Structure 1
Amino acid sequence: MPEYKLTYFNTRALCEPIRCCLHYAGVEFEDKRISHADWPEIKPTTPHGLLPLFEVDGKMLTQSGSILRFVARLSGLTGKDSWEEAKADETFQYFVDGVSITSAGGYIYDKAGVVKSPDPEAAYKVFVPVANRNLQYYTKMLEEAGNGFILPSGLTYADFAVYTHALTVRNVDPELAKNYPKVYEFVERIEKLPQLQNYLADWSVADAGLTGNFFWKSTDFAVDDPAAGRSVGDAFSFAYWMLEIVEKLLALCDYFGHNVLSMPGKLPIRTALVDMPEYKLTYFDCRAYAEPIRLCLHYGGIEFEDYKFTAEQWPAIKPTTPHGVVPVFEVDGKILTQSGAILRYVARLTGLVGKDSWEEAKADETYHYFVDSTHVTSAGGYIYDKAGILKSADIKAFYDVFVKVATKNLDNYTKMLEEARNGHSLTLRNVDPELAKKFPKVYEFVQRIEKLPQLQKYLKERPDTLN
């Protein structure tokens, strides 16, 4: 069995859903927790200066979402099909957004005694609307599933994300939490799961080091013959390994089957054999977060409506979207939001997730670096200024932010080139051609992508936008 190690602060936050998945599945792992006081010393030793950090036999994976989806696949907690997996992903992204915004507001840190807020009242005004929005969304998901969990098939990693966020909100603001009884009935349901009892009974047990149990160890204690117990556990481990192979074969069948059925010239009766879903993607008339999605769909030869609108049209369109966000992806009218959830869904459709669960996790990690840097450089304002969308008050200061983040990411892309699948490098070249020249390997990669036969028609017709 592989050796797993998870490193994070001694808090729940973005790491708790990962811990819950591992404990639920009985996977033994080292739960290394560090204090905030020790972080400045530890930070330079981590990839990209980030936590959580997950290690599998010494191989490193960062980005909480990438780690969570990897351990969810290990634990069988991804959902019954690709759509449920995408909805679990969407729910997790709302959890991340909610935690990120409320943490940035400072109210949670103030209440936890980590960082004193200079204006707790203002911080609370940031916390309340975001907490309400997320708890309303969680309530809606629970009502739609109708089984006490977030998704119709039962427990998934999304449940542990919702549980973690709901717990934080209740700890910070018990009165606000009382407005959402269904969410807190759900919290009690999660806390009664037999597989989590040992962990939840002594949450601080992780300070001692190793936590959790291998499946074979649990079986060992349950039978009189320890050797027989381990044999049973090994059989289950082998079964999980075989299941992964079966899933890959099914994915290949889907992929090749889709390619065959997408060739009307060679198979004119395809509509009689299968009804292909109708896909629609809605986003601004620029690349940004939607472009990796478009590229996957075009590469896979999947027909879809690419609905684009201008920034001026957004105020009228915003109230018609779920939660007031884009991109929105529709599959026969069913709606999926959150760019990462959509991208992973279409990547599975088109066979672009990587050759195994580790490659899928590393591709996921790379995508999250793209998202993080896009957030920072957009917040800095330099890209918006260059695109003529918003005029910057201090272009020099914003350029300094842009260069620092762009350089860091292009360094990362150079190191992870074989795993990267995104359109971010193109944006950086458009914004700052001179900076781009310092990273020749990245822009050789860009040329390689632009020469893919499957993308030629789309790239010729695509509007020339800055990002």
Structure 2
Amino acid sequence: MESKCKLTYFDAMGTAEPIRYLLYHGKIKFEDNRVDFQTWQSMKTSTPFGQMPVLEIDGKKMHQSIAICRYLGKKLALAGENDWESAQIDMAVDTVLDLRIKLSEFYWESDETVKQRKKATVLNETLPFVLERLNGLVKENGGYLALGKLTWGDFFFAGISEYMNCVTQFDITKDYPNLAALKKKICELPDVKDWISRRPVSQL
């Protein structure tokens, strides 16, 4: 019997897009449950820790986007084969996550003066520092983030880069050919490409 799967998130890409990429790539049928802010306020207490995304499989709820991606990666044979290999993926993914958090901090800052200061630091210092090293990491791994092969970490980077592009208002991979090639590789996988061609238009 096929599992019943539902992904709940805002009507946006955000931290749910890597999960969608993995679900579509793995041909896992799921309900893409998108909620608006008002609906979210009324259902927030019903989620494990008052956060989204939430992936529900046969009534069991999972939260935290990276934990969900890691779980799907194991199911789809896109994870490490031992603890050391798993750590290679985790290190790369956590680095990407740190960058996303830094970008989010300036984007959602309400004090305009503080926001501009944070933005300048992130765009002029943090972003190039991290992307240059990630670009080198992909080169070392033959076109992938880790292990010299396709892993769930590559899907995480490709999906979350969509959010980061929206925040920065430019393609973060434009000066980093190895990262650009990796993202293109993921986005041109047949089921991911099909999803991208028909997904709802979103600002984030």
TM-score where L is the length of structure 1: 0.39
What whole-Å deviation, never above 9, does each CA across 1:161-209 have from its counterpart, x for those lacking one?
Answer: 221343334442427643222211222222111231221111229xxxx
The alignment status of 1:56 with 2:51, answered yes or no, reads no
The alignment status of 1:139 with 2:140, answered yes or no, reads no
Matches within 5 A, 1:56-455: 56-106=57-107, 109=108, 118-119=112-113, 120-128=115-123, 129-146=125-142, 148-171=143-166, 172-174=168-170, 177-204=173-200
TM-aligned CA distance change 1:118 to 1:41, over 3 Å: farther
The whole-number CA distance in structure 2 between the counterparts of 1:175 and 1:76 is 30
TM-aligned CA distance change 1:72 to 1:194, over 3 Å: same
In structure 1, what is the equivalent of residue 44 of structure 2?
Answer: 43
The whole-number CA distance in structure 1 between the counterparts of 2:96 and 2:34 is 22
Q: State the identity %.
A: 26
Instruction: List structure 1 segments (4+ residues) > 6 angstroms apart after TM superposition.
Output: none
Amino acid at match of 1:59: K
The whole-number CA distance in structure 2 between the counterparts of 1:44 and 1:13 is 21
How big is the shift at 1:39? 2.3
How big is the shift at 1:156? 0.7
Classify the secondary structure of the residue corresponding to 2:200: helix
With CA pairs under 8 Å and 6+ residues apart, which has the higher RCO, 1 or 2? 2
TM-aligned CA distance change 1:173 to 1:39, over 3 Å: same
How big is the shift at 1:139? 0.5
Instruction: Please tell me whether the aligned partners of residues 105 and 126 of structure 1 are also in contact (alpha carbons under 8 angstroms).
Output: no
The whole-number CA distance in structure 2 between the counterparts of 1:175 and 1:3 is 36
Classify the secondary structure of the residue corresponding to 2:61: strand
Classify the secondary structure of the residue corresponding to 1:43: helix
Contiguous gaps of at least 5 residues in structure 1: 110-114, 206-467
Classify the secondary structure of the residue corresponding to 1:48: coil
Amino acid at match of 2:80: G
TM-aligned CA distance change 1:193 to 1:176, over 3 Å: closer
Instruction: Please tell me whether the aligned partners of residues 22 and 75 of structure 1 are also in contact (alpha carbons under 8 angstroms).
Output: no
The whole-number CA distance in structure 2 between the counterparts of 1:76 and 1:18 is 15
Contiguous gaps of at least 5 residues in structure 2: none
Higher Rg: 1
Instruction: Please tell me whether the aligned partners of residues 25 and 191 of structure 2 are also in contact (alpha carbons under 8 angstroms).
Output: yes
State the Cα RMSD in Å: 2.3
The whole-number CA distance in structure 2 between the counterparts of 1:132 and 1:6 is 33
Instruction: Please tell me whether the aligned partners of residues 17 and 160 of structure 2 are also in contact (alpha carbons under 8 angstroms).
Output: no
TM-aligned CA distance change 1:92 to 1:26, over 3 Å: same
TM-aligned CA distance change 1:15 to 1:77, over 3 Å: same
The whole-number CA distance in structure 2 between the counterparts of 1:35 and 1:117 is 25
Amino acid at match of 1:118: E
Instruction: Please tell me whether the aligned partners of residues 161 and 172 of structure 2 are also in contact (alpha carbons under 8 angstroms).
Output: no
What whole-Å deviation, never above 9, does each CA across 1:368-396 have from its counterpart, x for those lacking one?
Answer: xxxxxxxxxxxxxxxxxxxxxxxxxxxxx
TM-aligned CA distance change 1:175 to 1:195, over 3 Å: closer
The count of residues paired between Structure 1 and Structure 2 equals 197
The whole-number CA distance in structure 2 between the counterparts of 1:170 and 1:180 is 14
TM-aligned CA distance change 1:19 to 1:175, over 3 Å: closer
Instruction: Please tell me whether the aligned partners of residues 191 and 197 of structure 1 are also in contact (alpha carbons under 8 angstroms).
Output: yes
The whole-number CA distance in structure 2 between the counterparts of 1:173 and 1:50 is 26
